[in-house]
Structure 1
Amino acid sequence: MRRFALLLGGPLLVTEALRERLRGLRLLAADSGGRHALALRLPLELWLGDFDSSPPWLQQILPAPKEVLTRDKDLTDGEALVRKALELGAEEVLLLGGIGGRLDHTLAHLELAFLLAEKGVRVELTDGLTRAFPLLAGLHAFPLEKGTAFSLLPFPEATLAVEGARWNLPPTSLKATTLTLENQALGPIRVRVERGRAVLYLLQT
Structure 2
Amino acid sequence: MRRFALLLGGPLLATEALKERLRGYRLLAADSGGRHALALGLTPELWLGDFDSSPPWLQEALSAPKEVLPREKDLTDGEALLRKALELGAEEVLLLGALGGRLDHTLVHLELAFLLAQKGVRVELTDGLTRAFPLLPGLHAFPLRPGTPFSLLPFPEATLGVEGARWDLPPTALKATSRTLENEALGPIRVRLEAGRALLYLF
Residue correspondence of structure 1 range 50-199 to structure 2 within 5 A: 50-199=50-199
Pairwise CA distance, 1:2: 1.2
Poorly superposed stretches of 4+, deviation over 6 Å: none
Question: Hey, what's the Cα distance between the residues in 1 that align with 2:34 and 2:112?
Answer: 19
Please tell me the root mean square deviation across aligned C-alpha atoms, in Å.
Answer: 0.7
Three-state SS of the structure 1 residue aligned to 2:108 is helix
- Whether the 8 Å CA contact 2:157–2:196 is kept in 1: the answer is yes
Pairwise CA distance, 1:102: 1.1
Question: Any idea what the Cα deviations from partners look like across 1:162-187, whole Å, max 9, x if unmatched?
Answer: 00000001111111110000000000
Question: Hey, what's the Cα distance between the residues in 1 that align with 2:39 and 2:49?
Answer: 19
Give unpaired runs (5+ residues) of structure 2.
Answer: none
Q: Percent identity?
A: 85
Question: Hey, what's the Cα distance between the residues in 2 that align with 1:7 and 1:175?
Answer: 32
Question: Hey, what's the Cα distance between the residues in 1 that align with 2:101 and 2:167?
Answer: 29
Question: Hey, what's the Cα distance between the residues in 2 that align with 1:83 and 1:186?
Answer: 38
Question: Hey, what's the Cα distance between the residues in 2 that align with 1:184 and 1:22?
Answer: 27
Three-state SS of the structure 2 residue aligned to 1:185 is strand
Question: Hey, what's the Cα distance between the residues in 2 that align with 1:72 and 1:103?
Answer: 21
The question of 1:200 aligning with 2:200 is answered yes
Give unpaired runs (5+ residues) of structure 1.
Answer: none
Three-state SS of the structure 1 residue aligned to 2:145 is coil
Which letter does structure 2 place at the counterpart of 1:104? D
Corresponding pairs, count:
203
Question: Hey, what's the Cα distance between the residues in 1 that align with 2:11 and 2:150?
Answer: 20
